[in-house]
Amino acid sequence: NSNRGHVAHADAITSNSIAHADANTSKKKKVVVLGTGWAGMSFLKNLNNSTYDVKVVSPRNFFVFTPLLPSVTCGKVEARSIVEPIRNIIRKKNINVSYCEAECIKIDPASKKIYCRAARATLNTNSKQGEEFEVDYDYLIIAVGAQVNTFNTPGVEGNCHFLKEIEDAQKIRKNVIESFEKASLPNLSEEERKKILHFVVVGGGPTGVEFSGELRDFVNEDVLKLYPTVQHLVKITVIEATDHILNMFDKRITKFAESKFLRDDIDVKLGSMVTKITENEISTKAKGSDKTTSTPYGMVLWSTGIGQRPLIKDFMKQIGQGNRRALATDEWLRVEGCDNVYALGDCATINQRKVVEDIAEIFKRADKDNSGTLTVKKFTDIMDDVIARYPQVKLYMKSKRVRNFVDILTEAKGNAAKETIELSIEEFKTALSVVDSKMKNLPATAQVANQQGAYLAKCFNRMEECEKNPEGPPRFRGTGRHRFHPFRYRHLGQFAPLGGEKTAAQLPGDWVSIGHSSQWLWYSIYASKLADKSIGGVGLDTAFYLWEGRQWNL
């Protein structure tokens, strides 16, 4: 063991304290974390194994509680309330963590090295760009998030606002106020005022919808008092390419949101694609029509979904994933085709293995006496293992409201009595093939990123134990290469604040809540769920602060 040899050698020269210190640090595995967003910070907050030397690299030296970002755009929440400095987070850790304010510009998995550029010019003050440097790693955690996707629509870059970062929210806030000041100047025609006060939101997802709600609140409350002469000229338009806004939510929520927007006089244009944006006009095309309509606008927020950052695109090409949409990992969040590189959050997607791919192996494991058929007893014995390895089984059970694995099989057998069931491998395969059809990519949400960070930290906390005992905990013994159970997502619900203290909430167990109290629910759920140790405590301080702050304001 070369590592042990190195330590022994260092021990022999302990009189040299520097060499000793060197040996001590070289014993520690170097963990490099890219990003200070939900995924990266959740990992960091949950990591408590002092055998690592951790380095965080991110151009942003603070964490942002993104769910409240839309509330910053119109001044309901102050920007400083929803950020947490990374130095504060590090200070509270009792393990060795350092931070570099820099951007990773290239990953070299062959030499286990990353190339970085400081976020600002350091030594050469004439240079606009920061200095470049290299960092070695033993384990690399990629959590750089994603960027706004413009779908290469002409004119988006340069004419639209985005809403991803604190600076974006602050810029929007400034621009909203400026619009009202401009529209209040005496030398303008009514048409010109209307143009300036036409706010367009492209994309009817949660961010676009929340911003529209915030803006409507702002117009109804503050503008009415501050700019009473122009309030009636305001127009808010939401442009959505599909048939509904909030289409990832339950239909009841979509309907409620659409009718609330109608009452609020927010113009929702469904089935409408933006084709071009110029300095003064936005062009759209209705679905199935060739006619383009151009409308004057004052301000546009572009929020149509996410795309990968150049760093990730380059890395994917490098490791033969060039044709994918996001960096693929296995269910343990290990990047496919790379050793000791992990990826999580918005930059990555889990390539979930299908049950049918392993059907022969599962069958063999269940059929302990090699009889060639499975009975209920035989497959209930391995049920937990199967569910742990293939989370789509659980998902399928939930969606079909079946109680357990056995029900899936009895159903496939034409609802035969349980005691009489005997399945051949072919029948077993047919029964389980429907399960894979329920597989979906996890959404790009803070909830997923947060849980993935906490999960990965747990794996790292137990790394040593797992290396000593590569078969893993007894429950997974026999599954060979798997040292930890795969990542499992726990859906805690979704929230869509709609403005006017109205929030739609969709919680697990088909529970939909819409109305006045939902806003409270939203804050309290964030606060309490984030406090749940099994999920991780990222943003907890912020969430509590805001939640209490809210109560206080009332």
| Residues binding ligand FAD (CB under 6 A) | 34-40, 57-60, 66-67, 69-70, 103-104, 143-145, 163-164, 206-207, 309, 311, 345-347, 444-447, 449
| Residue 143 or 156 with smaller CB distance to ligand FAD | 143
Q: Supply the minimum distance, in Å, between the C-beta of residue 130 and ligand FAD.
A: 12
DSSP 335: B
| Residue 100 or 463 with smaller CB distance to ligand FAD | 100
| Residue 230 or 446 with smaller CB distance to ligand FAD | 446
* H/E segment holding residue 252: helix 251-263
| Residue 139 or 379 with smaller CB distance to Mg ion | 139
What's the token pair of residue 374? Answer: 């499975």
Pairing of strands 147-148, 83-85: unpaired
User: Which residue is closest to ligand FAD by CB?
Assistant: 37
Q: Supply the minimum distance, in Å, between the C-beta of residue 324 and Mg ion.
A: 12
What's the token pair of residue 490? Answer: 């726990």
CA 424 to chain centre: 41
Residue 168 three-state SS = helix
Q: Residue 410 in contact with residue 423, Cβ under 8 Å? A: no
Contacting residues for 227 by C-beta, under 8 A, at least 6 apart: 180, 183, 184
| Residue 168 or 358 with smaller CB distance to ligand FAD | 168
d(CA 496, CA 530): 18
d(CA 489, CA 455): 10
Q: Residue 99 in contact with residue 54, Cβ under 8 Å? A: no
* H/E segment holding residue 507: strand 502-507
| Residue 14 or 98 with smaller CB distance to ligand FAD | 98
Q: Tokens 């990953």 label which residue?
A: 107
Q: Which does 445 bind (CB under 5 to 8 A by kind): Mg ion, ligand FAD, none?
A: ligand FAD
Q: Which does 72 bind (CB under 5 to 8 A by kind): ligand FAD, Mg ion, none?
A: none
Evaluated on CA atoms 240, 243, 249, 251, the torsion sign reads positive
CA 220 to chain centre: 32
**DSSP per residue, 414-427:** TS--GGG--B-HHH
| Residue 345 or 472 with smaller CB distance to ligand FAD | 345
What's the token pair of residue 483? Answer: 């040292």
Task: Summarize as ranges the residues that interact with Mg ion (CB under 5 A).
Answer: 35, 37-40, 64, 66-67, 143, 206, 348
Q: Supply the minimum distance, in Å, between the C-beta of residue 212 and ligand FAD.
A: 12
Span between the terminal Cα atoms of the chain, in Å:
65
| Residue 78 or 191 with smaller CB distance to ligand FAD | 78
Residue 382 three-state SS = helix
Q: Which does 164 bind (CB under 5 to 8 A by kind): Mg ion, ligand FAD, none?
A: ligand FAD
d(CA 358, CA 386): 10
Q: Residue 73 in contact with residue 46, Cβ under 8 Å? A: no
Q: Which does 104 bind (CB under 5 to 8 A by kind): Mg ion, ligand FAD, none?
A: ligand FAD
Q: Supply the minimum distance, in Å, between the C-beta of residue 486 and ligand FAD.
A: 19
Q: Residue 489 in contact with residue 352, Cβ under 8 Å? A: no
Q: Supply the minimum distance, in Å, between the C-beta of residue 451 and Mg ion.
A: 11
| Residue 343 or 393 with smaller CB distance to ligand FAD | 343
Q: Supply the minimum distance, in Å, between the C-beta of residue 28 and ligand FAD.
A: 22
Q: Supply the minimum distance, in Å, between the C-beta of residue 102 and ligand FAD.
A: 7
Q: Supply the minimum distance, in Å, between the C-beta of residue 319 and Mg ion.
A: 17
Q: Supply the minimum distance, in Å, between the C-beta of residue 479 and ligand FAD.
A: 28
